[in-house]
Structure 1
Amino acid sequence: MINGHRAAAVRGSGHRARISVRAAADGAAEGKQTALVKYALIVLLVLQNSLTAILARNSRIPPAGGGQLYLGSVAVLVAEVIKLPICLGLIAKDVGGVRAMLQQVWQQIFVRWRSTLQMAVPALCYCLQNALFFVALSRLSATSYQLWSQSKTLFTALFFVFYLGKPLRRQQWIALSLLSAGVGLVQYTEAAMKGGAAAAAAAAASSVAGSAVAVGVAAVLASSLLSGFANVYFEKVVKTQSDVSIWMRNVQLGLFSLPQAAALVVADWPTIAAQGPLVGFSALVWNVVLLKALGGLLVAAVVKYADNVLKTYATAIAIVLTFAVGCVQTRTMPTIAFLQGLAMVIASIFLYNFSGKAKPGAFGFLQASAADVVQQGAADIVQGAADILQGAADALQEAADALQPTEEGAEEAHNRSRLGRMLARLRAIRARGVRNPDKDP
């Protein structure tokens, strides 16, 4: 009898061990899948940020034949229309079917209507922000827009302090100062690059010159202000009512954003009545609208499956990618001051988001490096990045000069060659004199 119990116990322990091994294997597989999803989302976020700025800038260039540009208000409305069914589909996937999704929508939106009403404020902010996006990209380059839009970090931090009462660390205040200096340097550089008669003539025919740049900067700053307030307000609501999914929150936002976007369309009614709502819509414009619709959902997915650290890296990489594509498109080399402003903005992103303690994981060593850099001071970051960028710019400039020699350059090279030969002869004569000091020349 005792042996039977022992055998049963052994069989039970073996069964539990097999279950534990299977559970561990399933957990490892799930962890790999989660990591794959996480980094895939980061790559998509980088591409979305860069492509949205680049394509939107190109889509706001007036047609060569003098045709009508598409209406930004209509683009905002279409993006909201696209986003709503996507959110409903994601809810249905999470809850297990359309019927369960409809029950969730009824419960979370209509039964708990007070919670839904709280989304009216950020919905208005996001709607106006999207409208200002097209105003800004009509007057700024894609890279300048990306850099100026990082001012939303400054406004978000200020709202955190004064609206939520959360203090900032000294490192974060340094980062905000660095951010302000960086975007200011970029703006000063762009203004200086437009000086001179030839540049003024070119600027007169450009949509990003003179007062247009001021309007673009004002639009992106207003957009960043609205974004900062909406982000803080949205975070406060989400953290106090955590039982509502992020996709349901997007549906609540969409219910208020749709009528607000429709109200913006009314302002363009004369053009719509004369030429139709989709005037100027091309394949490029549809791509921009789709990217705008997916942008908010992608950020929500990154927050859900990844974390703010990876989102920070994605933002920095997107800025650099946009900058590189812009240089290729315009076939121009940036000034050193512009590169310094770019380095300052990217450095401020890392400084603001990283505390002194590094988190474990694939990017832990980068966080530790960022913390060390913070202790050394923001000035070292800027100087180091500026030196690297200056070296790269000098190397590229020398390569360009070597590939495209001018007549003056050829003559100068010839003169240097003649001078070199003369100096070589003088050194040879001097060497003979040193070897034979007593011999008459």
Structure 2
Amino acid sequence: MAARMQCIVTGSRHTNRRLKYISLAVLVIQNASLILSIRYVRTLPGDHFFTTSAVVMAEILKVLTCLIILLAQRRGNIRAFVTLLYDSIVVQYRDTLKLSVPSLIYTLQNNLQYVAISNLPAATFQVTYQLKILTTALFSVLMLRKSLSRVQWLSLLLLFTGVAIVQVEQDGSKQKEAAVSPATQSYVKGLLAVVVSCLSSGFAGVYFEKILKGSSASVWLRNVQLGIFGTLLGLLGMWWNDGAAVAEKGFLFGYTPMVWGVIFNQAFGGLLVAVVVKYADNILKGFATSFSIIVSTVTSVYLFGFHVDLLFTLGAGLVIAAVYMYSLPKAVALPPSLGSAASSCSHGDSRMEAFLPKSVLVK
């Protein structure tokens, strides 16, 4: 009996280890492919799709996916499904309205991502966008009263330094990707877009995390509520920015299979991360982000003629190190009476608390 139990435990550990590495691969592919594919479709010659319509379409697909998941959780019971939605969205309308704030910011962030990637080299965007870790950490300290370890404060300093080095290098060299004409992009515009996107990501993510902690509603239901507001606000933004052009050319103008791939990646990327993180941990999440920076840089060299020099390598290296350091678990101080009991436990993870907020994983 004991041998059988040992085999079960060993098999479970092997399965969990396999799932972790699969999760790592999925996160790397998702992070790198989204940025590279957006950059690719936005730099192709000819007419381009409306980014505002792509944001709306991604929100619609996300809402439909979450609705299907909620229906499946109710075992296809339409009545229970409708009752859940009515009670959560209409009856508890105050909770629903609270999500209008992060939804507005997420919609702005998604539009800014297109602007930033359209004007910045993919590798530069990938490195600079890690500033969202800094903004999320700061908002977490201010709004959620979370504490950072010395290692995490050091990692944030390294992160800021690395991003600054990359920006100095880019500003000094003024290098452009070979596939793009200098007239088609503005580095300053892209930099402002990514900085504002990082600020909005940090605030909205922490705000959303605060709402999740104060409610028993599932993440899928909250994403439905976010998606409803996101769709409405996205439509308003599309009307304001591209209304006349969309009315003339159509909502799906410029949509190619590659564009649809970008939209599906953006729609399901956040949901996918939420699922795979269940089997991974924050250290693997840090590895995934670091690997995706490397993959984006190497791929940009071959696809877009991006030039990597010593200064960029130094800055990107500091960012990669900072991401890894920030994701390391933080030891939790135990009372003396529990110290001996905790030391007999063979699972070190139960005595460690990773700080990385859920808000970094949501969007």
TM-score of the pair, normalised by structure 2: 0.83
Structure 2 equivalent of residue 252 of structure 1: 225
The aligned counterpart of 1:150 is: 130
Between the aligned partners of 1:203 and 1:261, the Cα distance in structure 2 is 28
User: What is the letter of the counterpart of residue 55 of structure 2?
Assistant: V
Q: 1:23 to 1:355 in 2, by over 3 A?
A: closer
Change (3 A) 1:330 1:258: closer
Task: Say if 2:294 is the partner of 1:320.
Answer: yes
1:80 aligns with 2:59: yes
The separation in 2 between residues aligned to 1:247 and 1:200, in whole angstroms, is 40
Residue of structure 1 in register with 2:74 after alignment: 95
Q: Post-superposition shift, 1:22?
A: 8.2
Matches of 1:238 and 1:333, distance apart in 2: 43
Q: Structure 2: which amino acid aligns with 1:286?
A: W
3-state SS in 1 of match to 2:184: coil
Q: Give the unaligned 5+ runs of structure 1.
A: 1-16, 368-441
Q: Does residue 1:182 correspond to 2:155, yes or no? A: no
1:46 maps to what in 2?
28
Instruction: Tell me if the contact between 2:63 and 2:227 (Cα under 8 Å) persists in the aligned partners.
Output: yes
Q: Which amino acid aligns with 2:62?
A: K
Cα pair distance change 1:115/1:84, threshold 3 Å? same
Query: For residues 346 and 246 of structure 1, what CA distance do their matches in structure 2 show?
Result: 29
* Offset of residue 361 of structure 1: 11
Tell me which structure has the larger Cα radius of gyration: 1
Distance of 1:30 and 1:117 partners within structure 2: 43
The answer to whether structure 1 residue 351 and structure 2 residue 325 are counterparts is: yes
Shift of 1:68: 2.5
Alignment of 1:110-125 (within 5 A): 110-125=90-105
Residue type of the partner of 1:70? F
User: 1:4-19 maps to which residues of 2 (within 5 A)?
Assistant: none
Paired-residue identity, %: 36
Superposed CA deviations along residues 171-194 of structure 1, whole A, max 9, x for unmatched, are 222111111111111111112222
Q: 1:295 to 1:363 in 2, by over 3 A?
A: farther
* Match for residue 298 of structure 1 among 247, 250, 272: 272
Q: What does 1:14-413 align with in structure 2 at a 5 Å threshold?
A: 36-63=18-45, 67-99=46-78, 100-194=80-174, 205-208=182-185, 212-241=186-215, 243-267=216-240, 268-331=242-305, 333-355=307-329, 357=331
Shift of 1:256: 1.1
**Offset at residue 291 of structure 1 (A):** 0.5
Q: C-alpha offsets along residues 87-129 of structure 1, whole Å, 9 cap, x if unaligned?
A: 1122223332242433332333233322222211111111110
Write the letter of the residue equivalent to 1:257: G
Of residues 230-239 and 36-45 in structure 1, the stretch that sits farther from structure 2 once superposed is: 36-45
* Aligned-residue offset at 1:155: 0.7
Is 267-276 or 106-115 further displaced after alignment? Answer: 106-115
Contact 1:152 1:224 in 2 (8 A): yes
Deviation at 1:352, TM superposition (A): 1.6
Using the TM superposition, give the Cα deviation of residue 357 of structure 1 relative to its aligned residue in structure 2, in angstroms. Answer: 4.8
| Partner residue in 1 for 2:357 | none
2:59·2:230 contact (CA, 8 Å) conserved in 1? Answer: yes
C-alpha displacement of 1:36 = 4.4
TM-superposed deviation, 1:355: 3.9
SS of corresponding position for 2:119: coil
Deviations 1:246-305 (A, max 9, x none): 111111111111101110110211111222222222121111111100111112213444
* CA deviation map 1:71-96 (0-9, x unaligned): 11000001111111111122223332
Retained in 2: the 8 A contact 1:186–1:341?
Answer: yes
Number of residues of Structure 1 aligned to a counterpart in Structure 2 = 336
Per the TM alignment, residue 145 of structure 1 is displaced from its structure 2 partner at its CA by: 0.8
Q: 1:231 to 1:256 in 2, by over 3 A?
A: same
Tell me the amino acid that sits aligned with residue 205 of structure 1. Answer: P
Aligned 8 A contact 1:194 1:203 in 2: no
Matched residues in 2 for 1:144 and 1:361: separation? Answer: 42
Contact 1:125–1:226 (CA<8 Å) still a contact in 2? Answer: yes
Q: Which amino acid aligns with 2:144?
A: L
- Give 1:52's aligned amino acid: L
1:154 shift after superposition: 1.0
Q: Match for 2:209: what amino acid?
A: E
1:32–1:83: structure 2 CA closer, same or farther, 3 Å change rule?
farther
Q: 1:161–1:134: structure 2 CA closer, same or farther, 3 Å change rule?
A: same
Name which of structure 1's ranges 212-221 and 40-49 shifts more when overlaid on structure 2. Answer: 40-49
Q: Which amino acid aligns with 1:345?
A: V
Shift of 1:149: 0.6
Cα contact 1:37–1:305 (8 A) shared by 2 = yes
Task: State the alpha-carbon separation in 2 of the partners of residues 130 and 361 from structure 1.
Answer: 43
What TM-score results when the alignment is normalised by the length of structure 1?
A: 0.69
Q: 1:291 to 1:156 in 2, by over 3 A?
A: same
